[in-house]
Amino acid sequence: MSQRETNVEKAVAKLIGKRLEPGTEIKAEIFEELLGMRKESQGFSWMISEIRDALREYGIHLSGEGFVDTGAYVIFQPEDHYWLMREALKTADRRIDRMLVLLLNTNIDGFSALNRKRHENIIREASMKLEAMRRFQEVEKMLARKKPKPIIDAEGTEAA
């Protein structure tokens, strides 16, 4: 186990050992102490990323939103995890769409048979994943729609 992995494990263990209630602010200085490095160092942000990954295993999201103003990371409300996923899906959709445009417009005339097959296969795979994500978004929209108003007949009763 590397020193980095050991530091991340120690930091997560100390954080999990305390009650991490939603809304809890954790100052960067606490992470500096736990990780043994300054927040200005390049490795610090990598370590924070690894800590975030580890905390997700406990259903906890450590947000850096507002860090510039407060100098602290915040534990998100569990109800907000939904929005994190919604944004991740939108981002993934845009990125896959952009790469599909690139692949579909790539001149493959000089490709070997193997590279041509790889190229075609990744286009198929990306297209299917993009379609599945878009269908999911359509289902979400349908679920969000309000139920239609009931149809009232001439006698003022609800039609079946």
Residues 6+ apart with CB under 8 A from 111: 119
Nearest alpha-carbon partner for 20 in 67, 74, 63, 68: 74
The two structure tokens encoding residue 54: 């580890």
Alpha helix locations (H) across 2-155?
Answer: 3-17, 28-35, 42-56, 67-70, 81-104, 113-144
Supply the pLDDT for residue 27. Answer: 86
Supply the pLDDT for residue 135. Answer: 84
**Quick one: how far is CA 104 from the chain centroid?**
27
Supply the pLDDT for residue 158. Answer: 64
Residue 36 · residue 7 · CB < 8 Å? yes
Packing angle of the helix pair 113-144, 81-104 (nearest 10 deg): 140
* Local mean pLDDT, 10-residue blocks, the chain (160 residues): 64 68 85 86 88 86 85 89 89 92 96 97 93 80 66 60
d(CA 109, CA 131): 27
Supply the pLDDT for residue 126. Answer: 92
Residue 150 · residue 113 · CB < 8 Å? no
